[in-house]
Amino acid sequence: MRFTWVRLFTLNCLFQAGQGSPVHSKDEYHLKPFHIDLSSKVPRMLDQIRRTELPEKPIYVNTGTAQGISLSDLKSFRNQWLTRFDWKHEQKELNEFNHYTAQIEGLEIHFIHAKSKAPDAIPLLLLHGWPGSFLEFVPIINKLTEKATTAAGKKVSFDVIVPSLPGYAFSSVPPVKWTIADTARVFDTLITKVLGYDTYATFGTDWGAGVAYSLYGQFNTTVRAAHLAFLPFAPLSSEQLAAENITLSPLEEYEQANAEEWTRSGEGYFVEQTTKPNTIGLALHDNPVGQLAWIGEKFLNWSDPNAGHAPSTLTHNEILRSVSLYYLTESFASSVLTYAQNPNGFATVYTKANTDAPLLFSAFKYNVGFWPPAVVAKVGNLVKYTNHESGGHFPGIDNPPALLADLREIASYWKD
């Protein structure tokens, strides 16, 4: 039967309860603290990595990353994974956050909840995509809870909520026909019913942008501001932009050319995961080096070429941490199912959200998609557009200071 293999990847491990500040909610959601403990799975992962044999020489030479991750890069990652990467250290660091799980519509949803000490803090929901996870926002979570000021001098701090999308990390696998709109509905329940916030703001990138945009339009009484770094609409071609008399700055011309090149040569994975998720999911399910090749290539090619150097925190260790999370939680196969469940997740026909809530947008030079201000304004009440000379597809680790500053600007347009 089609997609019956998904049940094989349901997250069925027992996790130990951790310590954290209490969160008050209705009992029916079974809200409880959560503690990450995957250490028992690490020896087998390392054994799998150690026993994986790679070719002595590359099949192609002098292609860089144009045809995918290079053999030399993969060998370097593999060596670091075996000799210097320490999951116990990473796990200890991650457990410094307050993790929780709640049961909503039959799904166990994992999330981090970091609360500000400010009584007027804005609830902010941060949403990742693929091949990301809640790890994308680790560099900025605590900073967002601190009291700060916007560029105009307005005081701001946030209560930060970072969930794992259904089928990712510690959130359970959703039903076969689950869509981005379904995830939006569950997350609105999480914020308003489980955590008890009346209104909130949201940010999203990649598939998380689709969820955030769905929240922005469909839950317009509770979502009172949205901030995106990606759109759930296919970027316009240069010809389409010209037809609409949209002119571009030199930075925007670079971003447009980069996005069009990605459309020509970088979407092979998208077709595979949309049409044959079983094949790639099963092939790589118990193959950590295979997952590293598939996922690592995206981190390398979709990010700022200066990755790993300030302001970027996207080091090789960060990539290994992300791949380890996918492998140890057995969530690779269920994560790629997102594509098959949402084959039209990036629409070609632009529509405007039914809301008056402010929309903010951050563009980053090396992102794989580009939408100029006039295009973003088509889909919402655009009040602020910021374009950055550095950063890529994973802004929370590609350019944390820029994303942090941009998110704080939500306060300039926030109305309780």
Catalytic residues: 206, 339, 393
> Strand, coil or helix: what is 158?
strand
**Pairwise CA distance, residues 346 & 329, whole Å:** 27
Largest pairwise CA distance in the chain: 61
> Count of alpha carbons within 13 Å of 115, Cβ hemisphere only?
13
- CA-to-CA separations, 319 to 119, 282, 323, 326, in angstroms, rounded: 36, 22, 6, 11
**Rounded Cα–Cα distance for residues 142 and 115 (Å):** 9
Residue 54: half-sphere exposure toward Cβ, Cα within 13 Å: 23
Cα 223 to Cα 91, 119, 146, 196, 219: the distances in Å are: 32, 19, 22, 13, 6
Other CB atoms within 10 Å distance of the CB of residue 18: 16
Candidates 78, 86, 38, 69; CA nearest to 325 is 38
Question: Whose structure tokens read 């569950």?
Answer: 186
Three-state DSSP state, 237: coil
Question: Chain-centre distance of CA 103, in angstroms?
Answer: 21
User: Are 213 and 231 in contact, with CB atoms under 8 Å apart?
Assistant: yes
Residues β-bridged to residue 204: 127, 228
